[in-house]
Chain A
Amino acid sequence: MLIRVGNLYKIYEEGHQSEVTALRGISLDMAHGEFVALMGPSGSGKSTLSNIIGCLDRPSKGTCFLEEVDTGRLSDADLSVIRNRKIGFIFQGFNLVSSLSAIKNVELPLLYARQKKEIRTKVATDLLESLGLAHRLHHLPTELSGGEQQRVSIARALSMNPSLLVADEPTGNLDSQSGLEVMKIFNQLNQKGTTILMVTHDPQIASYARRIVRFKDGQIDSDR
């Protein structure tokens, strides 16, 4: 099992008047090669869970195992390593570094993994070419369309050959055409064996996944 979430809680401002419980006792398993969509209204906890699974955040209570390692107990430095090697993030707002070119953005995880320049360049170039961006290698994000930026983001997420892709509203800032292109790419990746965890509020986008977990008020409502 790739991911095992056990009785997970996430509480903000614990002990204060403004205390908010975003996740209440979530339990969830995810196997290698799955394509899972987390759905639910705004504030239901789906992004909170994907952040914890993606090691961007820690649980307040409960466990979250990634490849048999309890990530909730790891140090900041260890979490950084896991984010670098095991997780690939794709965000709604693309989140590319605006001062770096497309290829430099894709090389970023490789840079933090201390890979040599030749390897970084080759991996990044190959990925961008496979996503149809061979002619955009040295463009800045401001010189790219939304769809192109998201594809750069996907290339960056894939650069370290991660165990899991975490995509939070990947088509939220794209027109329907570009959105479909991105979902096609996700399909292809999943067919090749890439595990994908996707957060979305759009049922059409969610239908690309093979399993939909619905959230409501910090708890799992359904899981099919």
Chain B
Amino acid sequence: MLGITIGVIAVIATGTIASIGRTIIFNELETFGLNSIWVYRSSTQEKPGESYKKGTGLKISDLEVIRENIHAVGDVTPVSSRTAWVKNQNKFTKINLLGTDGNYAVINNDSMVEGRFLVPEDLYLGQKVCVIGPEVSRKLFSTASPLGQEIEIENHAYKVIGLLREKGRDFLSAIGAGDGQDSNQRIIIPLNVWQSQFNNDDIDFIQAQAKTLDQVEEASSQILNLLHFIKKGQFTYQAETMKQYIETADRILDTVSWIGALTALISLVVGGVGIMNIMISSVMERTREIGIRKAVGATNTDILFQFVTESAMISLLGGLAGCFLGTLVVLSVEFLIDKPLAVSWPHVFLALFVSALVGILSGYYPARRASRLDPVVALRHD
């Protein structure tokens, strides 16, 4: 019976974790924009002789070409990034400095806690303004508002015009995705200001947003084709999409599900064999009782039904214990990871159904033996 219980726990726990995991990961990915495409110079697919060329070959003008020619694309934004030191009075911290435009926040689903994001005027006027991430704000200003404050980025003064909302990136960090940086540790400034401060008019990468999720693949390949055409084969580019991360997540969760199913299967088989043994013993011990029941009118079918039912009951009891303990496991995990989980009811019903089925199947053989006992012989048994 223990095998049944363990099997059911496995089914419930992994089923719940897999379905909730999907929701949690999806929610995290959604905060980064599900339709996103990142286009950057390829280091692995470049042609011979290309590696000596410096820079990425991407310019601001390329974005306009993309916008005009690729209809599957909604918004596009240029991004240049590097790590830099930022200082406020006597506090220092290392941050990821991004140079981009106003579209960046839209594409990345960034929202503000205070102030505003970049607007076209900031780029037009070349303003030394910045938007900072929550971790940066904590390190430089602790709990005080950073708005309107002046900070020094690599010895250049900038005014803080906005504070970004916190973003979780547990899953993306775990699979080493995206820009590999903690998004709460960013500072964002206008791209042209970034380019003049660091004397580099190349863009590191282009981030585009497809109009719909279905158009992501199409947009991605069209952008690459366009860029390869414009650059006349001088540079090779590649693209990454959020979809790929979703597929990675799905693969991981599927593996979790498969492991859970396999554990459950093995446990249920073990449990089934255990129940069969219990029932065989039970039939042997109750041989006389079977004879009595037959003597007073039980048919072979009555006896078969009685023992199969008993077997199913034992198995179902193990299943219920498993449901109870499985729910406890889910509640414990919920408490530990501090995220709400809901027990996956379809998995519970599946588990109970399967445990009853295992009971019926494993009890059938002993029950059949019981039903075929000769009443006279059975009555003589001890």
- A residues neighboring B (CB under 8 Å): 51, 56-57, 76-77, 80-81, 83-85, 89, 91, 95-99, 108-109, 112-113, 156, 160
Contacts and interface: CB of A to CB of B under 8 A. Distances in A.
Contacts of B298: 80, 112
A98 B295 contact: no
B213 interface: no
Contacts of A112: 293, 296-299, 302
Given A56-B375, A56-B376, A57-B376, A95 B300 contact: no
User: Which of B295, B298, B301, B376 has the most chain A CB atoms inside 10 A of its CB?
Assistant: B295
B289 interface: yes
Contacts of B292: 95-97
Contacts of A109: 296-297
Nearest to A168: B379
Interface in B273-327: 288-289, 291-302
Contacts of A89: 295-296
A95 B296 CA distance: 11
Looking at chain B's contact residues, the main secondary structure is: helix
Nearest to B379: A95
A114 to B, nearest CB: 10
Contacts of A56: 295, 375-376, 379
B297 to A, nearest CB: 2
A103 B376 CA distance: 25
A108 B302 CA distance: 12
Nearest to B292: A95
A86 to B, nearest CB: 10
User: Which of A51, A80, A95 has the most chain B CB atoms inside 10 A of its CB?
Assistant: A80
Contacts of A76: 299-300
A113 B297 contact: yes
Contacts of A98: 289
A113 B379 CA distance: 21
A77 B300 contact: yes
Q: Which 4 A-B pairs have the closest CB atoms?
A: A84-B297, A112-B297, A80-B299, A109-B296
B294 A80 contact: yes
A110 B323 CA distance: 38
Contacts of B288: 95
B293 A97 contact: yes
A113 B297 CA distance: 8
Contacts, number: 54
Contact of B296 (A77, A83, A99): A83
Contacts of B293: 97, 108, 112
B299 A95 contact: no
B269 to A, nearest CB: 30
Contacts of A97: 289, 292-293
28 contacts: A51-B376, A56-B295, A56-B379, A76-B299, A76-B300, A77-B299, A77-B301, A80-B299, A81-B297, A83-B294, A83-B296, A83-B297, A84-B296, A85-B297, A89-B295, A91-B379, A95-B292, A97-B293, A99-B289, A108-B293, A108-B296, A109-B297, A112-B293, A112-B296, A112-B298, A112-B302, A113-B297, A156-B296
Contacts of A113: 297
Contacts of B299: 76-77, 80-81, 112
B80 to A, nearest CB: 82
A80 B372 CA distance: 13
Contacts of A85: 297
Contacts of B375: 56-57
A146 B376 CA distance: 22
A179 to B, nearest CB: 21
Contact of B297 (A51, A57, A80, A95): A80
Contacts of B289: 97-99
User: Which of B297, B301, B302, B379 has the most chain A CB atoms inside 10 A of its CB?
Assistant: B297
A168 to B, nearest CB: 10
A72 B329 CA distance: 61
Interface in B337-382: 375-376, 379
A65 B156 CA distance: 117
Nearest to B297: A84
Nearest to B300: A76
